[in-house]
Amino acid sequence: MRKLLPFCLFITIAASAQNLPAGYDQLIKDETPKVVAWRRYFHQNPELSNREFNTAKKIEAYLKELGIETRIIAGTGVVGVLKGGKPGPVVALRADIDALPVTERNALSFKSNVTTDYNGQKVGVMHACGHDSHIAMLMGTAEVLSKMKNDVPGTIVFLFQPAEEGPPGTEEGGAPLMIKEGAMDNPKVDAVFGMHIESFGDLGKIYYKPEAFMASSDWFTIKVKGKQSHGSDPWKGIDPIVVSSEIIQNLQTIVSRQMDLTQAPVIITVGKINAGVRPNIIPEEAIMEGTIRTLDSKMQKEVHDRIRNTVKNIAAVYGATAEVTIDTKTLVTYNDPKLVAQSLPSLQKAAGENNIVPYHWVTGAEDFSFYGTKAPAFFFYLGARNPTLSMDQAPAHHTPDFYIDDSKLDVGVKTFCQLVFDYARTKKG
């Protein structure tokens, strides 16, 4: 269960949200059924990371219908640029578009029955993290803003990003490749906003936190090299499985005994271990794979160093050798405090003053974090839990039973639109 914690950082709200152009409320009302229909279409037609070919085509075609300039980058990413009729900053709005190798398990009329090959296996494909709703809300935002184009201040960059869940194999992808290919530079973005639908959150409520919000994600591989021998003569070899078990136990002491957890959480998880081919053979090598989660960049580096030292020293004690590789998948998702303070009135205007919930940091990760290296960034959650379920009953993300209530997707569209207009005013001020 994810539990709401007391929030001790209070923010002074220096500005208030403004009313949007005449006819805006009717535009949102007209748009909402389309947003729900798009969400359900994409849910029924999911595609894996870096394979979102049909998804990208549908997004690009629709943006072109709206008169929005488009270009394809990062393989299957779509960038749309809308130049408003009034002067102002460049604001980027991001939605991720990829699905997961998960077989859906429910009775929805728009359930995914898509299957594909993934890592040599036949798997189901499902939007088990809500990216279908992200696409739909950003498409809805694009339509509403395009219909108010003359009143829109500055330039809006719509980032429909592939491979947030991670590109396959050694392929490049996701936010790093979007940035590498100019998504934040052509035109140069002044601020970037993103949101994530959440199955646990109260329907229609927005959850936020300034500064560190979501964890960095590092994936590590540890290769332990021993000496092969017969299982009946272990003294004639060096058992890499025994060494690996000792390493696994000691990795946890990095968390429990070596890091100051009052500063920020740390997680080290070994999720996979592979060694040997027969019960009566002590193998030469064992390979472990896992993930590291941190919410502080200095602690992240320290954890890396401690893992390398722990692995090396334990292997040496047993006469084995070990090699550690660590690959950073995401950075800490950091919400610029000034941008958060400026944006809260916009969130309150869009969702309702009582529907904005200060939240705690989480150990999930998001490659939205990379956009924050190019411009001030603000990432927040939108609750979409079935109102008949309690928070601990809500199906978790990345599972076959994942489910969101899509009746409040208009809140996401309203929030993006409100942020566009209000940021321009605060930037000008």
Using the predicted structure, report yes or no on whether residue 329 has a pLDDT greater than 70: yes
Using the predicted structure, report yes or no on whether residue 303 has a pLDDT greater than 90: yes
The residues carrying an active-site annotation are 98, 164
Q: What are the pLDDT digits (tens) for 171-199?
A: 999 999 999 999 999 999 999 999 999 99
At 429, the pLDDT band (50, 70, 90 cuts) reads low
Output the average pLDDT for the chain: 95
Average pLDDT over residues 163-176: 96
Segments of the chain assigned to CATH 3.40.630.10: 24-210+336-428
Average pLDDT over residues 336-361: 97
> Percent of the chain scored above 90 by pLDDT?
94
Task: Give the pLDDT of residue 3.
Answer: 36
Cβ pair 28, 410 in contact under 8 A: yes
Using the predicted structure, report yes or no on whether residue 58 has a pLDDT greater than 90: yes
In CATH, what is the architecture of 216-329? Answer: 2-Layer Sandwich (3.30)
Q: What are the pLDDT digits (tens) for 308-326?
A: 999 999 999 999 999 999 9
Using the predicted structure, report yes or no on whether residue 11 has a pLDDT greater than 70: no
Please state, in angstroms and as integers, the Cα–Cα distance from residue 262 to each residue in 124, 256, 412, following that order: 41, 11, 34
> Percent of the chain scored above 70 by pLDDT?
96
Using the predicted structure, report yes or no on whether residue 427 has a pLDDT greater than 70: yes
Task: Give the pLDDT of residue 5.
Answer: 38
Using the predicted structure, report yes or no on whether residue 12 has a pLDDT greater than 70: no
Task: Give the pLDDT of residue 9.
Answer: 41
Average pLDDT over residues 394-418: 98
Q: What are the pLDDT digits (tens) for 100-159?
A: 999 999 999 999 999 999 988 999 999 999 999 999 999 999 999 999 999 999 999 999
Using the predicted structure, report yes or no on whether residue 85 has a pLDDT greater than 60: yes
Average pLDDT over residues 384-389: 96
Segments of the chain assigned to CATH 3.30.70.360: 216-329
The burial of 113, by beta-carbon neighbours within 10 Å (0-12 exposed, 13-18 middle, 19 or more buried), is given as: exposed
HEC profile of the chain = CCCCCCCCCCCCCCCCCCCCCCCHHHHHHHHHHHHHHHHHHHHHCCCECCCCHHHHHHHHHHHHHCCCEEEEECCCEEEEEEECCEEEEEEEEEEECCEECCCCCCCCCCCCCCEEEECCEEEECECCCCHHHHHHHHHHHHHHHHHCHHHCEEEEEEEEECCCCCCCCCCCCHHHHHHHCCCCECCECCEEEEEEEECCCCCCCEEECCEEEEEEEEEEEEEEECECEECCCHHHCECHHHHHHHHHHHHHHHHHHHCCCCCCCEEEEEEEEEECCCCCEECCEEEEEEEEEECCHHHHHHHHHHHHHHHHHHHHHCCCEEEEEEEEEECCEEECHHHHHHHHHHHHHHHCHHHEEECCCEEEECHHHHHHHCCCEEEEEEECCCCCCCHHHCCCCCCCCCCCCHHHHHHHHHHHHHHHHHHHHHHHC
At 234, the pLDDT band (50, 70, 90 cuts) reads very high
Least confident among 219-223, 279-283, 319-323, 390-394: 390-394
Task: Give the pLDDT of residue 421.
Answer: 97
Please identify, in words, the CATH class of the domain defined by 24-210+336-428.
alpha beta
Task: Give the pLDDT of residue 15.
Answer: 52
Cβ pair 131, 97 in contact under 8 A: yes
Give the residue with greater pLDDT, 14 vs 392: 392
Average pLDDT over residues 370-398: 97
Average pLDDT over residues 10-16: 47
